[in-house]
């Protein structure tokens, strides 16, 4: 399989702001994130997306594992290798069971997931489908178990993951190898 090439240049920003951003990225992620490099071509977009991601990181009504499984299921549905790769790394570092993260592409065949986790991933897939396939019963069931605030956060997380994945796919951004940083060398799950 041929690896896609980014459709925009992924050159680090220059000047003092680029150096500062580069230091932050290297300290936190070990290097530049491709979506940041792509967005840096339009500083207003970069700032807006940065503020969005910062605020999303502060949301706390939805359990972290449910949030991670929902965003992973959306990324898998869209086949966004960048999102699946970075999402595995990020969620692994947030304490989500890596066995569950690895099993998301085959969640229907796995016995690792609770009924609620399965319903959350089905909801993420149905929200991601075109046309959207979410049902009244699906929302009512999740609402009864999660409450209104967590349901809204779940829905927003899936929407944001759709935006991330669709942007990365359109710009030809692919895996940067983050997942490999989480695996024990030589270990086969």
What per-residue confidence (pLDDT) applies to 18? 84
Q: What is the CA radius of gyration of the chain?
A: 17
Q: What is the pLDDT of residue 180?
A: 77
For residue 186, the Cα-to-chain-centroid distance in whole angstroms is: 26
Q: Return the pLDDT at 19.
A: 86
Domain assignments of the chain as residue spans, ordered by start: 15-58, 64-170
Q: Among 3.40.1390.20, 3.40.50.1220, 3.40.50.2300, 1.20.1290.10, name the CATH number for the domain at 64-170.
A: 1.20.1290.10
Distance from C-alpha of 46 to C-alpha of 33, rounded to nearest angstrom: 12
User: DSSP 3-state assignment of 93?
Assistant: helix
Residues 6+ apart with CB under 8 A from 75: 83, 84, 87, 161, 164, 165
Contact (Cβ atoms closer than 8 angstroms) between residue 113 and residue 121: yes
For residue 56, how many other CB atoms are within 10 A of its CB? 14
DSSP class of 184:
P
Residue by residue, pLDDT tens for the chain (189 residues) are 345 689 999 998 778 888 888 899 999 999 999 999 999 999 899 999 999 999 999 999 999 999 999 999 999 999 999 999 999 999 999 999 999 999 999 999 999 999 999 999 999 999 999 999 999 999 999 999 999 999 999 999 999 999 999 999 999 999 998 887 665 444 344
- Token code pair at residue 158: 């899936």
Instruction: Spell out the residues 6+ positions from residue 109 whose beta carbon is closer than 8 angstroms to its own.
Output: none
Nearest to 170 by CA among 53, 8, 1: 8
Q: What are the CA-CA distances from residue 43 to residues 16, 36, 48, 120, 132 (Å)? A: 14, 10, 9, 35, 32
**Model pTM greater than 0.75?**
yes
Beta strand segments in 85-152, E: none
């Amino acid at each position: 399989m041929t690896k896609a090439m980014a459709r925009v240049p992924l050159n680090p920003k220059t000047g003092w702001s680029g150096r500062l951003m580069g230091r932050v990225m290297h300290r936190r992620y070990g290097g530049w994130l491709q979506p940041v490099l792509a967005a840096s071509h339009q500083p207003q977009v970069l700032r807006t997306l940065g503020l969005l991601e910062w605020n999303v990181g502060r949301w706390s009504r939805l359990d972290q594992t449910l949030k991670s499984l929902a965003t992973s299921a959306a990324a898998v549905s869209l086949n966004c290798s960048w999102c699946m790769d970075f999402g595995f790394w990020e969620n692994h570092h947030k304490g989500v069971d890596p066995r569950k993260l690895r099993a998301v592409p085959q969640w229907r065949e796995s016995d690792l997931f609770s009924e609620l986790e399965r319903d959350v991933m089905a909801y993420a897939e149905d929200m991601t489908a075109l046309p959207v396939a979410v049902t009244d019963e699906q929302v009512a069931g999740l609402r009864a178990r999660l409450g209104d605030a967590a349901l809204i956060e779940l829905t927003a997380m899936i929407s944001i993951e759709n935006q991330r994945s669709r942007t990365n796919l359109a710009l030809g951004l692919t895996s940067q190898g983050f997942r490999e940083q989480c695996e024990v060398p030589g270990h086969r799950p």
